[in-house]
Amino acid sequence: MSGFSCQRLSKTFFAHNAVVPALESIDFRVEARSFVCIVGPSGCGKSTLLRLIAGLLPPTSGCVCFDREASQDKPRTALVFQEHGLFPWMTVLDNVAFALVGQRQGRREGRRLAQAQLERVGLAGFAHSYPHQLSGGMRQRVGVARALLANPDILLMDEPFGSVDAQTRLVLQEELLNLWREQQKTVVYVTHDIAEAILLGDRVLVMSGRPGRILADIAVPLARPRMLTAVDSPEIKDIKWRIWNMLESEVRANLGTSSAPFS
């Protein structure tokens, strides 16, 4: 239903006469209702990959193929942006209600649903605040609340808790896992934090440095529901090390081949 696969997906940017190959022949499959995490060095094309899946960018070649019967619509996606993308000129309530502009509800009904959504995530008291009045963590939560209100089949999250302190992040991760369990969505979650990827994902995809390719596809053998603080079995530690080794060599390769940034 809401699974999909990326098939030989490539993306090259042409900007200012420079050719930037961002993604190269990406192949993977995401099962419906699974939680897939993607880790990779920064600049390897993670955000670009999510934009391709969300349909915000056209691929240069290859395709994102969604599972569907001939009669069905394409499953709906919603992207939680890395920069959270809240409109500074809208209140928190209007920002969240914006998720419904493309749907049939009127503005008033949209607001009512947005208010209910804010109550669900414990932000009801900030409905009439502007984004700049919120902390970084609260802004991220508003971004997630907005994407969830759109009720997508596939939720795409781009380092959603990247700028949050460790304690808050733990709480937000718990919230996210609860939501995922209740709402049965397919989630693709990008992070640069290996521990976070293992904590959250059914699988972890490891990407190479630019141009991004899939280096490894690792299943996480942890039962659910997971205790977010209790993941230090030897097996998990071993996975962490494997991913770290792959990423380290990628990062070093990137530093070595880049045109001497410090000279």
Partner 1 sequence: MAGWLLVWEMAATRRWISPLFFPAPTTILRTLLAYSASGKLVADLAATLGRLLMGLMLGGSMGMLLGLLMGGSPRLRRLVDPLVAAMHPIPKISLLPLVLIIFGLGESSRVVLVAVASFFPTVINTMTGVQQIPPIYYEVAANYQASPLTVFRRIIIPGSLPMILAGWRIALNTALVITIAVELITAREGLGAAIWLAWQTLRTEHFYAALLVIAVLGLGSNGLLHLLSAWLIPWQRQDHST
Ligand X SMILES: Nc1ncnc2c1ncn2[C@@H]1O[C@H](COP(=O)(O)OP(=O)(O)O)[C@@H](O)[C@H]1O
What are the residues binding Mg ion (CB under 5 A)?
47, 82
Smaller CB distance to partner 1: residue 83 or 238?
Answer: 83
User: Cα separation of 120 and 127, whole Å?
Assistant: 12
Interacting span for ligand X (CB under 6 A) from 15-23, 27-35, 149-157, 231-239 = 15-23
Give the per-residue contact string, 180-219, with ligand X (x = CB under 6 A; - = no). ------------------------------x---------
The first and second tokens of residue 70, run together, are 């001939």
Contact 200, 34 (CB under 8 A): no
| Residue 87: strand, helix, or coil | coil
User: Cα separation of 209 and 23, whole Å?
Assistant: 10
User: Cα separation of 259 and 37, whole Å?
Assistant: 31
Q: Does residue 85 interact with partner 1 by CB under 8 A? A: yes
Q: Does residue 100 interact with partner 1 by CB under 8 A? A: yes
Which residues, numbered 117-146, are part of the site for partner 1 (CB under 8 A)? Answer: 130-132
DSSP conformational letter for 126: G
Q: Does residue 87 interact with partner 1 by CB under 8 A? A: yes
Q: Count Cβ neighbours within 10 Å for each residue of 31-65 and write b for 16 or more, e otherwise.
A: eebbbbbbbbbeebbbbbbbbbbbeebebbebebe
Q: Does residue 65 interact with partner 1 by CB under 8 A? A: no
Smaller CB distance to partner 1: residue 186 or 208?
Answer: 186
Smaller CB distance to partner 1: residue 141 or 203?
Answer: 141
Interacting span for partner 1 (CB under 8 A) from 51-59, 215-223, 227-235, 254-262 = 51-59
* C-alpha dihedral sign at 52, 82, 189, 210: positive
Q: Report in angstroms how near the CB of residue 133 gets to ligand X at its nearest.
A: 28
User: Cα separation of 48 and 50, whole Å?
Assistant: 5
Q: Report in angstroms how near the CB of residue 52 gets to partner 1 at its nearest.
A: 12
DSSP conformational letter for 99: G
In 3D, which of 187, 185, 183, 192 has the Cα closest to residue 202? 187
Q: Report in angstroms how near the CB of residue 260 gets to ligand X at its nearest.
A: 18
Smaller CB distance to ligand X: residue 46 or 84?
Answer: 46
Q: Does residue 113 interact with partner 1 by CB under 8 A? A: no
Q: Does residue 143 interact with ligand X by CB under 6 A? A: no
Query: Which residues are near partner 1 by CB under 8 A?
Result: 51, 54-56, 78-79, 81, 83, 85, 87-90, 98-103, 130-132, 150
